[in-house]
Amino acid sequence: MLTEDGGRITVINGELGGATSPARAYTPLVGAEIALRPGGRLRLPLRPDFEHAVLALSDPVEVDGTALTTGSLLHLGEGRREVLLSAESASRALLIGGAPFDEELVMWWNFVARTHEEVVEARRDWEAERTGPSPDRFGAVPGYDGAALPAPEPPRARLRARPRAGTWSAEAAHRARSDQTTSPSTTAEVGDRPTARATALDRRCPARMCAVSSPTPCSCSQPAMARAASCA
């Protein structure tokens, strides 16, 4: 734990500012809770070879002049040597970071994998454990007495890796949002941005959780899991 005039820093994992967490880590990473005093300012040292982000646990919090509300995550990217946090009133934030993960990821429902096939396999294993005698791959949650959520049916389109943050330009995002003429394709691959087929997906489900071949627009007011089930 580090205590300064602007507040307190509790290192949860890894090392920050000379303080090291006793928690065991299996990959290069850092996690720290920042508790800001009213009017406090804390300048945190960062490893430039890490990718960092700050999550606001309460508001108001400013990160290098950017105001964050509770639950907002600001991606700082790589190459930074420091970041300034400030708050007018007592506030808390979470700094997370680690070695950049350069592999492309395929994300669908609660599954994160490298390929479409791995997601299909994970869903099959989830359903087998959910209805089987005992968990194996995913394990059990101690203290939770509810039933495991059923995974929605997999999308009819093939899942593809999403580009990392910053690889999809703001101009492409604007084109996707303004395109109102593209028709969805039943053969399009989910995640293939920013092609015309993916534009149809973005228009139908901004959360990118449903398949391009969805015949009707999704209801984006639904919770994420319900949306995934209804749109896939």
Beta-carbon contacts of 199 under 8 Å, excluding residues fewer than 6 positions away, are 175, 176, 179, 182
Q: What is the pLDDT of residue 6?
A: 83
- Average pLDDT of span 99-121: 89
Q: Is the pLDDT of residue 213 over 50?
A: no
Query: Do 67 and 117 share a structural domain?
Result: no
Instruction: Give the model's pLDDT for residue 147.
Output: 84
E strand or H helix at 174, and its extent?
A: helix 170-178
How many domains are contained in the chain?
A: 2
pLDDT at 216 over 50: no
Residues 122 and 67 in one domain: no
Domain match, 194 and 226 both? yes
Tell me the C-alpha distance between 95 and 190, whole Å.
31
pLDDT at 40 over 80: yes
What's the mean per-residue pLDDT of the chain? 74
pLDDT of residue 187: 31
Tens of pLDDT, residue by residue over 178-200, are 443 333 333 334 443 333 222 23
pLDDT tens-digit profile of 26-35? 889 999 999 9
| Residue 57 within any structural domain of the chain | yes
pLDDT at 161: 85
In a domain, 142, yes or no: no
Q: Are strands 82-86 and 41-45 parallel, antiparallel or unpaired?
A: antiparallel
Between these two residues, 155 and 182, which has the higher pLDDT value? Answer: 155
Whether residue 114 is found in the same domain as residue 21: no
Q: Which residue has the higher pLDDT, 196 or 17?
A: 17
Is residue 144 situated within a structural domain? Answer: no
Q: Which of 1-10, 104-113, 212-221 has the lowest mean pLDDT?
A: 212-221
Q: What percent of the chain lies above the pLDDT cut of 70?
A: 69
11 and 84 fall within a common domain = yes
Residue 192 lies in a domain: yes
The residue among 17, 11, 22, 196 whose CA lies nearest residue 94 is: 11
Statement: residue 154 has pLDDT above 50: yes
Segments forming the whole domain that contains residue 60: 2-98
Instruction: Look up the CATH number of the domain holding residue 61.
Output: 2.60.120.10
176 & 82 share domain: no
- Residue 198 C-alpha from the chain's centroid: 20
Question: Same domain, yes or no, for 129 and 54?
Answer: no
Residue 141 belongs to a domain: no
